[in-house]
């Protein structure tokens, strides 16, 4: 079966084209940015708070199509001044680094609120949630926030047989 990350990419694919503007809200080692670039999109914005992770990914993936910022995604509206087609948030911590540096409920909800404003009508956003110890509260807050939104459709994709494993919230903007 496909991983949640693979499923998130499949969900985003239909809105990716040569003029598409994309956001990788949690750059990490750049796998999601690499996916966007492989689809020949126009531009990818990327956000990452850890300087060493940021520098190493920037060195590998920096090109004319990328705009990477070493700032938290909760500041994205200060850096993106155009409508976007596709956004991915891969929450949690950098797997090969300090697991104490992880996304946080309030900044994550604030970032998704900004991302929804930037998203075009019919644009798509994928949230990969990690409901392990520190991610449990974040997942709960995110679902509560999304339930208050009236301009989107949201589907939840999860593994029925395994508790606390990664799951997906797939969003399309309706109006």
> Interface with ligand SAM by CB under 6 A: which residues?
26, 28-32, 47-50, 53, 72-74, 90, 92-94, 101-103, 107
Closer residue to ligand SAM, CB minimum distance, 106 or 155: 106
Q: Rounded to the nearest 5 degrees, what angle is found at the Cα of 150, between the Cα atoms of 149 and 153?
A: 90
In the complex, what is the shortest distance from the CB of residue 126 to ligand SAM, in angstroms, rounded to a whole number? 11
Instruction: Give the torsion sign (CA, 2, 132, 31, 65).
Output: positive
In the complex, what is the shortest distance from the CB of residue 65 to ligand SAM, in angstroms, rounded to a whole number? 17
In the beta sheet, which residues pair with residue 44? 22, 66
What is the full DSSP assignment across 36-98? HHHTT-SEEEEE-S-HHHHHHHHHHH-STTEEEESS-GGGHHHH--S-EEEEEEE-SB-TTS-
In the complex, what is the shortest distance from the CB of residue 7 to ligand SAM, in angstroms, rounded to a whole number? 14
Three-state DSSP class for residue 166: coil
Closer residue to ligand SAM, CB minimum distance, 92 or 123: 92
In the complex, what is the shortest distance from the CB of residue 36 to ligand SAM, in angstroms, rounded to a whole number? 11
Closer residue to ligand SAM, CB minimum distance, 21 or 27: 27
Which residue has the closest beta carbon to ligand SAM?
A: 28
Closer residue to ligand SAM, CB minimum distance, 87 or 121: 87
């Amino acid at each position: 079966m496909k991983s949640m990350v693979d499923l998130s990419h499949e969900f985003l694919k239909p809105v990716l084209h040569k003029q598409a503007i994309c956001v990788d809200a949690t750059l990490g080692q750049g796998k999601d940015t690499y996916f966007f670039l492989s689809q020949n999109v126009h531009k990818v914005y990327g956000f990452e708070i850890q300087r060493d992770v940021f520098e190493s990914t920037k060195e590998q993936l920096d090109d004319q199509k990328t705009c990477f910022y070493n700032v938290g995604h909760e500041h994205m509206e200060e850096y993106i001044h155009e409508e976007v087609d596709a956004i991915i948030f891969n929450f949690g911590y950098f797997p090969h680094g300090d697991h104490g540096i992880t996304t946080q409920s309030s900044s994550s909800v604030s970032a998704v609120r900004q991302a929804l404003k930037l998203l075009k009508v019919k644009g798509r956003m994928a949230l990969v949630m990690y409901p392990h110890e520190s991610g449990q509260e974040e997942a709960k807050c995110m679902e509560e926030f999304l339930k208050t939104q009236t301009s989107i459709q949201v589907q939840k994709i999860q593994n029925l047989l395994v508790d606390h494993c990664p799951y997906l919230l797939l969003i399309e903007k309706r109006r």
